[in-house]
Amino acid sequence: MSGPSFLIDTNVFIGLEDTREVSPQFASILQLAAKHGVAICIHEVARDDIQRDRDEGRRRVSLSKIEKFRLIGRVRGLTTDQLAEQFGPVPKPNDIVDATLLHALRIGVADFLVTEDAGLHDRARRYASDLSRRVLFVADAASLLRTTYEPVGVPVRFVEEVDANTIPGADSIFDSLREGYPDFDAWWRERCVRQQRKCWVVTDGTTLTGIVVRKDETRADTTAKKPSDRILKICTFKVRPESRGTKLGELLLKQVLWFAQKNRYELVYLTTFHQQAALIDLLCYYGFEQTNVASNGEITFEKALSDEPVSPVNTSNLFALDCREYPRFYAGPDITAYGIPIQEPYHDVLFPDLREPDLFEFGGIGGAPRTPGNTIRKVYLCRAQAMIDRPGALLFFYKSKSERLPSQAFTAVGIFEDMTLAESTEDLRRLAGGRSVYSETQLERWQATSARPVKVINFLLGGYFQPPMGLRELQRIGVLKGAPQSIFRIAETSLSQVLGRLDLGFRLQ
């Protein structure tokens, strides 16, 4: 089969096949897969999950519906000890199922695993990091299918700061909040509208697709557990269900963290419920810690911030450290750094925040990016000769000579995660994972082969130069002799001056 295959977990199968209304993102997977000939598969161990359902009638119906999907059989002789060795402890039957699904990814019988189980996502990150970007939430899987096969412009227009009183309280984006919080309307009217609280909103035309409501707090008036003087509370963090999968959650979290860091807050926190698995997974990835669980099940997540340089106990896993400390990152004396030249079309795709010349300020009122720079986690494809092998290395993106400004300049800094080689279009699909911004046609144009592999570079967006660092300045301080044509190492003697040009709200050295 030439196209990718998606292995769905039991929770996704039930979401597609039970008697309740199917959510838009669940439906999108089936529609897009059927339209483009993409296989949706179920593993034989899903039967084990369903067999444990105590509702006999529902169990019988679910088992009959499995036959609609392509079935992936068990690997003969695969033991629980072997699964535990590769994918962590498996003390319960559900753990065995999870590890078996990851094993199916590892042996290549499926390209992506789709699950709403935050524990399975966490297991992949802990014990199978090479597979983790191929383990997707439903919304991300739907987004990947759309991006790959239906390459259209992202319909997001703005991340805009507005007052709460300008947002209609009856907007349907708030419906699920009303269900879980009966006093929502009174809270919105008295605490948000009357106080004109600041909000970040994302819109598609006139439709509100995402919203964050924020509030300043101090040590004296907060319910947060970590002692701090300047606190940013996120009162509401909501993405419209049908808009999930366009990375709006990651876009809004980037706005929150960059704003908080730039404006010297000491703590960011919010509360949510365990049903919000994708949000919780995103928060934990970027260093939020669970600090409290209320009697009604509401969970508090907090993240401490600092304007001091990041100081690791050791430098063996800098990338994991940088994820926890994000948006700060380690830039100590033993850090390695590279310049990466990037042509304008690819630069516009990776860094859409910078498509207009007045968008280099972030944080603060009116400073939000006004084009959809939706992800913190990004992927870049190239055929450069250089190899980068140390997670946590700094990547400075040099926009080559361009029609639009900036031109011939360092524009962005990233934190390197890993570099892998793709020897086929199928490899490109798998290695880019849920971060891909390339269509199927674009991936095929690379014509990746074992003789001419394509490098897949995964990284975090660290921030932007304000203003860009131009070619003449880079030549003057010895970073470059002329316009670069390929990835190059930045000497330690010049790196400190490059870092000195970044103003990200914390000290780098």
On whether the CB atoms of residues 345 and 137 are closer than 8 A, the answer is no
Q: Residue 214: in which H helix or E strand, if any? A: strand 207-217
DSSP per residue, 390-433:
-TT-EEEEEE-S-SSSS-SEEEEEEEEEEEEEE-SHHHHHHHHG
Of 146 and 351, more confident: 351
On whether the CB atoms of residues 182 and 213 are closer than 8 A, the answer is no
**CA dist., res. 306 & res. 230, Å (int):** 11
Whether residue 155 has pLDDT greater than 50? no
* The CATH number of the domain covering residues in 318-499: 2.30.130.30
Matching residue, tokens 């919203």: 211
Residue 19's pLDDT is 52
Tell me the two tokens of residue 164: 């709460």
- Per residue in 478-496, pLDDT (tens digit) is 999 999 999 999 999 999 9
How far does CA 219 lie from the centroid of its chain? 31
Strands (E), 155-206: 158-163, 198-204
Q: How confident is the model at residue 16 (pLDDT cuts 50, 70, 90)?
A: low
DSSP per residue, 293-325:
E-TTS-EEEEEE--SSPP--S-STTHHHHHHHH
The per-residue pLDDT of the chain, averaged, comes to 87
Strand pairing partners for 200? Answer: 161, 212
Q: Compute φ and ψ for 365, nearest 5 degrees.
A: -65, 130
Residue 152's pLDDT is 44
Tell me the two tokens of residue 276: 């919000």
Identify the CATH class of 5-149: alpha beta
**CA dist., res. 100 & res. 106, Å (int):** 10
DSSP per residue, 29-46:
HHHHHHHHT-EEEEETTH
Lowest mean pLDDT among 277-281, 359-363, 430-434: 359-363
Residue 398's pLDDT is 98
- Per residue in 306-335, pLDDT (tens digit) is 999 998 877 678 999 999 999 999 999 889
Residue 326's pLDDT is 97
Lowest mean pLDDT among 75-79, 138-142, 212-216, 395-399: 138-142
- Say what angle helices 118-127 and 80-87 make with each other, to 10 degrees: 80
Of 63 and 381, more confident: 381
Helix (H) and strand (E) counts in the chain: 18, 18
How far does CA 319 lie from the centroid of its chain? 15
Residue 223's pLDDT is 92
In sequence order, which residues have a C-beta less than 8 Å from that of residue 313 and are 6 or more positions away? none
Q: Residue 455: in which H helix or E strand, if any? A: strand 454-470
Q: Compute φ and ψ for 212, nearest 5 degrees.
A: -125, 125
Most confident listed range (155-169, 274-288, 306-320) = 274-288
Matching residue, tokens 């519906």: 65
Q: How confident is the model at residue 114 (pLDDT cuts 50, 70, 90)?
A: very high
Superfamily designation of domain 158-304? Gcn5-related N-acetyltransferase (GNAT) (3.40.630.30)
**CA dist., res. 162 & res. 182, Å (int):** 25
| Omega cis (within 30) before 484 | no
Residue 359's pLDDT is 41
On whether the CB atoms of residues 371 and 352 are closer than 8 A, the answer is yes
On whether the CB atoms of residues 117 and 13 are closer than 8 A, the answer is no
C-alpha distance from residue 160 to each of 68, 251, 255, 348 (Å): 44, 12, 10, 20
On whether the CB atoms of residues 28 and 84 are closer than 8 A, the answer is no
- Per residue in 48-64, pLDDT (tens digit) is 878 877 778 777 877 77
Q: How confident is the model at residue 342 (pLDDT cuts 50, 70, 90)?
A: very high
Lowest mean pLDDT among 172-176, 246-250, 339-343: 246-250
On whether the CB atoms of residues 468 and 410 are closer than 8 A, the answer is yes
Whether residue 156 has pLDDT greater than 50? no
Whether residue 126 has pLDDT greater than 50? yes
| Closest residue by Cα to residue 16 from 66, 71, 70 | 66
Strand pairing partners for 72? Answer: 43
Share of residues in the chain with pLDDT > 70 (%): 90
Q: Residue 466: in which H helix or E strand, if any? A: strand 454-470
DSSP per residue, 256-284:
HHHHHHHTT-SEEEEEE-TT-HHHHHHHH
**CA dist., res. 488 & res. 312, Å (int):** 26
**CA dist., res. 125 & res. 285, Å (int):** 10
Contacts 24+ apart (CB under 8 A), 446-454: 446/381, 446/422, 448/422, 448/423, 448/424, 449/423, 449/424, 450/423, 452/383, 453/383, 453/421, 453/422, 453/423, 454/381, 454/382, 454/383, 454/421, 454/422, 454/428
Lowest mean pLDDT among 20-34, 204-218, 378-392: 20-34
On whether the CB atoms of residues 137 and 281 are closer than 8 A, the answer is yes
Matching residue, tokens 């499995």: 66
Residue 246's pLDDT is 59
Of 101 and 317, more confident: 101
Mean pLDDT score, 67-95: 92
Residue 144's pLDDT is 84
What's this model's pTM, rounded to 2 decimal places? 0.81
Sequence ranges of the domains in the chain: 5-149, 158-304, 318-499
Of 460 and 158, more confident: 460
Mean pLDDT score, 190-200: 94
On whether the CB atoms of residues 442 and 455 are closer than 8 A, the answer is no
Residue 20's pLDDT is 53
Mean pLDDT score, 54-76: 82
Q: How confident is the model at residue 73 (pLDDT cuts 50, 70, 90)?
A: very high
Of 423 and 145, more confident: 423
**CA dist., res. 86 & res. 341, Å (int):** 38
